[in-house]
Amino acid sequence: MAPPTAFADYPEPKEGPKTKYDPKVENNPVFRGLPLVVGANIISRVGFLQQLFWDNARLGAVKDIPELDGVPYRFHPTVTPLGPTSPMLEFDAELLEAKHTKSATPYYTANDYHEMYKLGKVTPFQVAEALLPLITRSGEPTGTYDNAWVDSHGKDHLVFEAAKASTERWAAGKPLSILDGVPIGVKDDTSVKGYSNHNGMKYNPSVPFFKEQEESVWPVKKLQEAGAIVIGRNCMHELGSDTSGCNAAQGTPTNFHNKTYYPGGSSSGAASSLSAGVVPICVGTDAGGSVRVPAAFNGVYGLKTTHHRTLFMNNTMCVTAPLASSVADLTIAYRIMSQPNPECAVQSRFALSIPPEPSAKKVMGIYRDWWNKADPRITEVCEKAVDYFANKCGYDIVDISIPYVQETQLAHSAVCITEMSEAARHRAPDWLSLVGAANKVILTVATKTPAADFLQYNALRELVMRHLAFLFQKHPGLLIMTPTTPMPGWPIVPGDEKHGMSDTNKTIRNMLYVFLGNITGTPALSAPVGYIDPEQGEGKLPVGLMATGEWGSEEQLLGWAREAEEYLHGGVEGGRHRPSEWLDVMGLVQKKKKNSDA
């Protein structure tokens, strides 16, 4: 097969070798509490122990794969769709109209805010006044919702300035867009003008890394130019190095569906806030499921975009991407964030993602051996959803396979921690002093990655990208379907909030499916499709289903997510679940307004 001409750097469509998927059960040591602290201090100082952990994780298993001989290295998995880059797709009436109004558990959308502002029932300034006391904190969190937000170090005036300007635009009848005055959150590793980035670390004002940012990154700037109000910065897993969301330095955000489970990471605060209704949209980052895993654990929507689609990042795995409590808001956020930046030679080249024609083929591919490695409770929920898509939405279901799944996941993990370690090394002379015990281990173990192994990781990346290209050309319209995570949540172990924990076995299992989109640069979207009973605590746990599409297929994925949203509300027994502590922002604002007028 020849690569399609509508892309730059599209992989040669070439079927990979037939390999058996029978993954080895991980047997990495688990550390928590004081043993973690003591062990981390020793491991981070002793080179041969770091090498021992690197070897135990089998990170050297990739370089001897014979099929990699002659395969070129691909470092950034950038595949650029070519064509018109503008104008941005409009928000049509169907996208903006109120949906699921008869649901017992509706979430406020950007359009709800827009309508309330238009009717003069509330103002953006009143929304800011109501929300800030609930999310503002310095040091340890003290309220219901503030553990999902980091200390803004006295920057509330930035929120009020933006809210005042939006209120004045509404009073003049000149809102900037559907997002004017809508509160949003931005992850703690993503630059917003006037705020500090913490990357989930404990704040140290004497370290230059924590300085106030002079500019918002491009996708955040576009949201702000549309009138969205960054109400605060969302907590994250320290350095984004894990997928539980446990953070001993800043506090761990709440999973409001069941408080005895972690919220997932690393965009933990974003998903927690969305689930609780505090904001309708958040900006996250995703290098190993960091948007999609917390979206799944908290019953919201997360889109990992095509590599470099919204922002060029000097990282071969990570993208900046939206999360939202509704598919309409996910779509709005994506379209605004992905507008081309004329000053970026990479991101500015991306053609618009265009929804498929109504007559386009709709195909779901499932690698059964891989799919079946999830917890049976997860697969049961996901299989019911797939049956719905086949019987009600017109999808053909085909069996597919992917070569070297376990080895590719190892390569993904090794590249992630190696790039993370190299980035951390530049933050301060005593760079390990900035992080907790778990990351002391991860960062120093990562320094043991040999160049030869790193090169072969990227040869394997190319091999798998070629195979995916083969599948996408063989099955036009293909979406590769998996559960978002194979785990029925990540239970909290009491005491971990003090020192953190390191459970590499759970980490690797939690990333069983999400890594594919990161290492190949393909877009992927997680949507909630049901709920299961927990093993501890009170409250059912959400289950996410994930679709991975061809490079540039974000609008196709969003179309699928709208179908998944219909299924969640109408096809799942009991419909969509909303946490008992969901925040009625509009009700809160109107109550405050009524009290002040009395």
Report in angstroms the alpha-carbon separations of 593 from 118, 125, 410. 17, 11, 55
Render pLDDT for 468-526 as a digit per residue (tens, 0 to 9): 999 999 999 999 999 999 999 999 999 999 999 999 999 999 999 999 999 999 999 99
Task: Kindly give, in sequence order, each residue whose CB lies less than 8 Å from that of residue 132, ignoring residues fewer than 6 positions away.
Answer: 156, 159, 231, 232
CB atoms within 10 A of CB 278: 27
Q: How does DSSP classify residue 177?
A: S
Proportion of the chain above pLDDT 70, given as a percent? 99
Question: What per-residue confidence (pLDDT) applies to 155?
Answer: 96
Q: Distance between CA atoms of 420 and 453, rounded to whole angstroms? A: 16
For 14-40, the pLDDT digits (tens) are 999 999 998 887 788 899 999 999 999
Q: Which domains does the chain have, with CATH numbers?
A: 80-84+108-401+474-597 (3.90.1300.10)
Supply φ then ψ for residue 191, to 5 degrees. Answer: -65, 130
| DSSP secondary structure code for residue 261 in this structure | B
Alpha-carbon radius of gyration of the chain: 23
Which pLDDT does position 101 carry in this prediction? 63
Residue 1 has pLDDT above 90, yes or no: no
C-alpha distance from residue 141 to each of 244, 250, 253, 289 (Å): 19, 8, 9, 26
Amino acid identity of residue 550, one-letter, is E
User: Cα 147 vs. chain centroid, distance in angstroms?
Assistant: 18
Q: How confident is the model over 250-278, as a mean pLDDT?
A: 98
d(Cα 421, Cα 134) in Å, to the nearest integer? 35
Tell how strand 319-324 and strand 281-286 pair up: antiparallel
β-pairing verdict for 183-187 and 229-234: parallel
Cβ contact 195:143 at 8 Å: no
Let me know how long the chain is: 598
Q: State the DSSP H helix or E strand holding residue 363, giving kind and residue range, or none if neither.
A: strand 363-366
Write the secondary structure of 479-495 as one string of H (helix), E (strand) and C (coil).
EEEEECCCCCCCECCCC
Kindly state the average pLDDT of the residues 400-424: 97
pLDDT in tens, 156-203: 999 999 999 999 999 999 999 999 999 999 999 999 999 999 999 999
At 102 the pLDDT is 66
C-alpha neighbours within 13 Å on the C-beta side of residue 470: 15
d(CA 555, CA 360): 13
Helix, strand, coil share of the chain (percent; to 5): 40, 10, 50
Three-state secondary-structure class, residue 220: helix
- Looking at residue 105, its pLDDT comes to 80
Contacts of 547 (CB under 8 A, 6+ apart): 364, 479, 480, 481, 524, 525, 527, 557, 560, 561
The pLDDT, as a whole number, for residue 98 is 67
Q: pLDDT (tens digit, 9 = 90+) per residue, 265-304?
A: 999 999 999 999 999 999 999 999 999 999 999 999 999 9
- Neighbouring C-beta atoms of residue 596, cutoff 10 Å: 9
**Confidence (pLDDT) at 595:** 82
pTM: 0.98
